[in-house]
Each structure stands twice: as C-alpha cells, then as structure tokens.
C-alpha cells in the first residue's frame, strides 16, 4: 500500500522532495504525493498555476485530513509548531534538518510522538552517503590526524545571509 | 571533537559549469584540484570527502569513483599514515599523485535511500537505521545550539575590542 504524502513548505527543499517523489521510479511505488501546503498564499497561487499534478492545500488542517505522512520543509523556526500540529492529529512526520533550534523542543516532539504512536524521522542524508559509509567501514579512526569537511561551492541562494554554523553543522555532525 | 587549522585554506574556483565544478584548494604546501558535482535543483553539492594526514591528503571522489592521493609538490613524499591506511586495504602501489578506482563505493543517491528507509520504517512502525529519530537528533541540536552560542559570544568580543 502506498503512503499518502503531503509536503509542508514549498521552498527549495520542498521542491527537491517533490521531484524525488514524482520522478524516481522505486519511490513512486512507495509514496503517493497527494499535495503540498505553503503558508505563503503567493507561493500557493504560483504552484496552482504551474503544476496541476497534485493538490495545493489551503490549510494545514486540509492537508492533515488527506495524508498519512507530512514532510516538513518549513523554516527551522517553524519546525516545532508545524511538527507538533501534525503529531497531535496522528500523522507521521519526516522533519527536515536541523529538527529544531532548541533541544528541549526535540524532547517535546519525542514525547508527542511516543504518546500518539507516530514516527518522527529527521532528514539527515549523510548517514546514507555511500562515501561516508565507505569511510566508516574501511578507515581506522586512530590513523586519522585531522578530518576537514568543507563546502566547495558557493552558498546556495536560499542560504545567503544565514550563519555558516547552521548549514554546515547540521549536515555534518 | 576539536580540531585546529593553522590558517584558513584558500579556495579558488577554477571552473564551474552546470554539471561539474573543479575547485582549487591551497593549504600550506598542499595545492590540489578537487571535484564537485552539481545536483539538479539542490545547489552545488560536494561529492568528495578529504582526509588529511600530516603531509598528504587523500580524497574519495564519488563522481568518478577514484581515490586520488596527493602530496606537497615540493617534496613528493607520502605520509606514512596515509600509506598504512590505504596500502593494506587496497594493495595499491603508492607513488606521487596516482589514481586508483574504488569499485566498492556504490553510486546511490542519499536522499532516495533515506526515503526508501523511511517508507520501510513507516510500514514497520519503527525508525530503521541509519535513519535518525527525533531523540537522536537532540544531540545534534544541542551541539548546534552551543556552536551558535559560542559564535555569538565571539562576535560580541570582537565588537567590544
């Protein structure tokens, strides 16, 4: 049975998830992207004009009524509020990294998840990176003097103005 | 884990196009070209992991599936740490700037793998590794919080002085 998905927040990351879910063959068999929601009405109008292949929900409530899983791609500041709303109505959530900006909010989400029997996964991709998996398997940590991880390219447009700490750390820790 | 660099590495963008990028990295006597790969829709993402020894570095380039070993151009010596790290595993004959393919690294898109594991987790009602749960993420959030706090503190000191 396919999992009915809604994407909350249709910025850069929301768009990446939409592409993966609709274009990747083995994911199309696993998921059914029902629709997206964005708090910005202009973005909602734009999606409605450009893509009629899925629903553009008018509210969180409408999205929650129609999906099993919420992929939360809202801003980090909004993560706690939007994820807790989804958990309170019994939805599973994939929460984009970093989960929240305050660890006590993570614990509250964990409690909500346990109380309601819903899953909250956090979208850290590096544990799935084949190069990282290869290194973990093959390198003796004692033989390494220094590990330097850096972003070679320019900062993506949606990250301009951010502190360097958040975008780099939440990918690499 | 703490680590220090004597000075900031110098990055020079050598070429950049829609599919591939090459970036020149200079650090002390190290002078190397590194590979990067542009993923459609998700910005300019590195695909290379670099591990430094005391004199040399090696990198895993996922795009071309190669290990590239480089060293200071002045001396051309191989760091014993790097030698011991790779020679026993891949039985490679090491010399300056050799390239040896790694066939055991699979080309799998991390986000796709994450979504597959998420689907299986939902069907089994349990977060399956290596997917991170919210409780595991708490550790990362604490570290980021602390790093942000220290960054702000350092900024304040800088402005005061």
Residues A105 and A49 in one domain: yes
Question: Which range has the worst mean pLDDT, A5-14, A27-36, A90-99, A156-165?
Answer: A156-165
What is the arithmetic mean of pLDDT over A127-144? 77
> Tell me, what CATH number does A30's domain have?
3.40.50.720
pLDDT tens-digit series, residues A60-76: 999 999 999 999 999 98
Instruction: Let me know whether A78 and A154 are in one domain.
Output: no
Q: How crowded is residue A89: how many other Cβ atoms within 10 Å of its Cβ?
A: 13
- Based on the domain organization, do A61 and A9 belong to the same domain? yes
- Whether A139 and A108 share a structural domain: no
Q: Is A90 on the interface with B (CB under 8 A)?
A: no
Average pLDDT rounded to a whole number, residues A53-57:
91
Between CA A146 and CA A158 the distance in angstroms is 30
Q: In this structure, what DSSP letter does residue B63 have?
A: T
Alpha-carbon distance of A100 to B134, in angstroms, equals 10
Q: Report the run of H or E that residue A42 belongs to, with start and end.
A: helix A41-50
| Chain A touched by B55 (CB under 8 Å) | no
Q: Tokens 């990282």 — which residue?
A: A132
Question: Where residue A96 falls among pLDDT bands split at 50, 70, 90?
Answer: very high
- A130 contact residues in B (CB cutoff 8 A): 62, 105-108, 110
User: Do residues A52 and A137 both lie within one domain?
Assistant: no
Q: Are residues A162 and A89 in the same domain?
A: no
End position of a domain, from candidates A106, A122, A138 = A122
Looking at the structure, do residues A160 and A99 belong to the same domain, yes or no? no
pTM of the model: 0.66
Contact (Cβ atoms closer than 8 angstroms) between residue A100 and residue A41? no
Specify the pLDDT at position A23: 84
CB spacing of B62 vs A68 below 8 angstroms? no
The partner residue sitting opposite A106, judged by closest CB among B62, B81, B134, is: B134
Q: pLDDT confidence of A54, banded at 50, 70, 90?
A: confident
| Whether residue A57 is found in the same domain as residue A103 | yes
Closest to A74 measured CA to CA, from A90, A88, A63, A89: A63
Q: Which of A15-19, A128-132, B55-59, B70-74 has the lowest mean pLDDT?
A: B70-74
Subunit contact A101:B141, Cβ cutoff 8 A:
yes
- Tell me the residues of chain B between 127 and 146 that have a Cβ less than 8 Å away from chain A: 127, 129-145
| Chain A nearest-CA residue for B59 | A131
Q: Say whether both A112 and A131 belong to one domain.
A: no
- pLDDT for residue A147: 65
Residues B18-38 have pLDDT tens digits of 333 344 444 444 444 443 333
User: In degrees rounded to 5, what are phi and psi of residue A55?
Assistant: -80, 145
**What ipTM does the predicted assembly reach?**
0.89
Give the domain extent around A73.
3-122
| Shared-domain flag, residues A26 and A100 | yes
* Residue A122: pLDDT band with limits 50, 70, 90: very high
Note if the bond before B130 is cis, omega within 30 degrees: yes
pLDDT at B111 over 60: yes
Residue A73 sits in the same domain as residue A88: yes
Instruction: Give the N- to C-terminal CA distance of chain A in Å, as an integer.
Output: 34
User: Could you say which of A19, A120, A135 has the minimum Cβ distance to residue B134?
Assistant: A120
The count of domains in chain A is 2
pLDDT at site A95: 96
**Is the pLDDT reported for residue A14 higher than 70?**
yes
pLDDT at A16: 87
pLDDT at residue B161, rounded to an integer: 53
Residues of A in contact with B45 (CB under 8 A): 153
CB-CB neighbors (< 8 A) of A12 in chain B: 41-43
Does A80 lie in the same domain as A63? yes
């Amino acid at each position: 049975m396919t999992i009915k998905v809604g994407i909350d927040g249709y910025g850069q990351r929301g768009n990446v998830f939409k592409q993966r879910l609709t274009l990747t063959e083995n994911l199309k068999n696993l998921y059914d992207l029902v629709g997206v929601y964005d708090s910005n009405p202009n973005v909602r109008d734009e999606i409605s004009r450009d893509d009629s292949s899925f629903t553009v929900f008018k509210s969180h409530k409408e999205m929650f009524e129609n999906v099993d899983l919420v992929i939360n791609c809202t801003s980090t500041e909004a993560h706690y509020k939007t994820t807790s709303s989804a958990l309170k109505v019994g939805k599973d959530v994939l929460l984009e990294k970093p989960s929240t900006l305050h660890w006590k909010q993570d614990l509250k989400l964990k409690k909500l998840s346990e109380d309601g029997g819903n899953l909250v996964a956090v979208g850290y991709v590096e544990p799935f990176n084949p190069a990282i998996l290869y290194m973990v398997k093959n390198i003796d940590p004692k033989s390494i003097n220094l590990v330097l991880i850096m972003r070679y390219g320019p900062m993506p447009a949606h990250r301009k103005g951010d502190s360097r700490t958040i975008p780099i750390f939440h990918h690499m820790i | 884990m703490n680590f220090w660099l004597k000075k900031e590495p110098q990055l020079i963008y050598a070429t950049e196009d829609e599919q591939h990028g090459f970036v020149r990295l200079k650090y002390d006597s190290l002078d190397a070209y590194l590979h990067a790969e542009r993923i459609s829709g998700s910005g300019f993402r590195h695909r290379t992991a670099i591990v430094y020894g005391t004199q040399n570095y090696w990198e895993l380039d996922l795009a071309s599936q190669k290990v590239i070993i480089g060293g200071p151009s002045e001396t051309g010596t191989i760091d014993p740490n790097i030698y011991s790290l790779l020679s026993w595993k891949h039985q490679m004959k090491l010399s300056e700037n050799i390239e040896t393919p790694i066939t055991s690294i699979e080309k799998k898109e991390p986000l796709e793998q994450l979504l597959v594991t998420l689907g299986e987790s939902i069907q089994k009602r349990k977060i399956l590794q290596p997917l991170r749960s919210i409780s595991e993420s708490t550790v990362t959030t604490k570290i980021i919080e602390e790093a942000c706090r220290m960054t702000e503190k350092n900024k304040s000191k800088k402005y005061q002085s």
